[in-house]
Amino acid sequence: MFENNPISKWRKYNNNYFLQADQCINCKKIHFPKGYFCKCQSKSFKKIALSGKGKLLTFTQVTSAPSAFINYSPYCIGIIKLDEGIKITAQVADTNLDELKTGTKVQATLRKLYECGKNGIINYGIKFIPIN
């Protein structure tokens, strides 16, 4: 199925392996993960690196996982507001539900997302860990 296709993942290595965004050259608005057409009508963007620091806006724990993630469940997932103002959906690793609350400070890190069976490619991506 589509979740085991390595080509579509390779296309997005630079979006999945580290946090970067496009900034509109004209009005400086940040587009994440990619900019196509800015509200100011500009089509020109430059890449900016993001700090990876942010706060949990909301979160939950997945216990009924999609096929790809069965071996990794249960896991916590949240919507994180990065310091740059962008929001990202990502797992919160190394933690339990009772250790998290709205506003918990988090930091991005590279982790395995899932393996495509015993023969397929290993998908890596960004997760967040709580920082004190």
Partner 1 sequence: MKVAVIGIGCTKFGEHWDKNIQDLLSASQLEAIEDAKISPNDIDAIFSGNMCGGIFSGQQHIGAIAAEILNLNVASSVVEAACASGGVAIRSGLQAILSGLAEVVLVNGVEKMTDTKTPQATTGLMLAASEELELFQGATFPALNAMIAKKYMNDYGLTREQLAMVSVKNHKHATLNPLAQFKKEITIENVINSTMVSDPLTLLDCAPISDGSASLILCSEKFAKKINKPAIYIVGSGQASDSLALQNRKSLTEMKATQIAAKTAYKIANVTPDDIDVTELHDGFSIVEILSLEDLGYFKKGEAGKATAEGKTFLDGEKPINPSGGLKGKGHPVGATGVSQAVEIVKQLRGECKSNQVKNAKTGLTHNIGGCGTTAVVHIFKKEK
Partner 2 sequence: MKIGIVGYGAYIPKFRIKTQEIAQFQNQDPHKIINGLKIEEKSVPGIDEDTATISHQAALNSIARAKIDKKKIGAIYIGSESHPYAVKPTSTIVGQALNIGNNYTAADLEFACKAGTAALQAACGLTQSKIIEYGLAIGTDTAQAEPGDVLEFSASAGGAAFLVGSNENEFLASIEKTLSFSSDTPDFWRRNLQKFPQHMGRFTGEPSYFKHVIETTKKFLDENNIQPKDLDHVVFHQPNGKFPTIAAKKLGFSLKQIETGLLAPKIGNCYSGSSLVGLTSILDVAKPNQKILLVSYGSGSGCDAFIFTTTKHLTQKQKLAPTTNNYIDNKKYLTYLQYQNRICTK
Binding site for partner 2 (CB under 8 A): 13-14, 17-18, 20, 49, 70-72, 91, 93-94, 109-113, 115, 122, 124, 127
Which of 127, 86, 84, 85 lies closest to 107 in space, CA to CA? Answer: 127
Binder of residue 93, out of partner 2, partner 1, none (CB less than 5 to 8 A by kind): partner 2
The smaller minimum CB distance to partner 2, of residues 88 and 127, is found at 127
Kindly state whether residue 67 participates in binding partner 1, applying the rule CB under 8 A. Answer: yes
Placement of tokens 């933690």 in the chain: 95
Q: How far apart, in Å, are the Cα atoms of 78 and each of 75, 83, 114, 127? A: 10, 15, 18, 10
- Which residue's structure tokens are 């890596």? 124
- 116: partner contacted, choices partner 1, partner 2, none (Cβ within 5-8 A by kind): none
In angstroms, the CA 71 to CA 28 distance is 41
Residues that bind partner 1 (CB under 8 A): 1-3, 9, 12, 15-16, 33, 57-70, 72, 75, 77-79, 87-91, 97, 102, 113-114, 123, 125
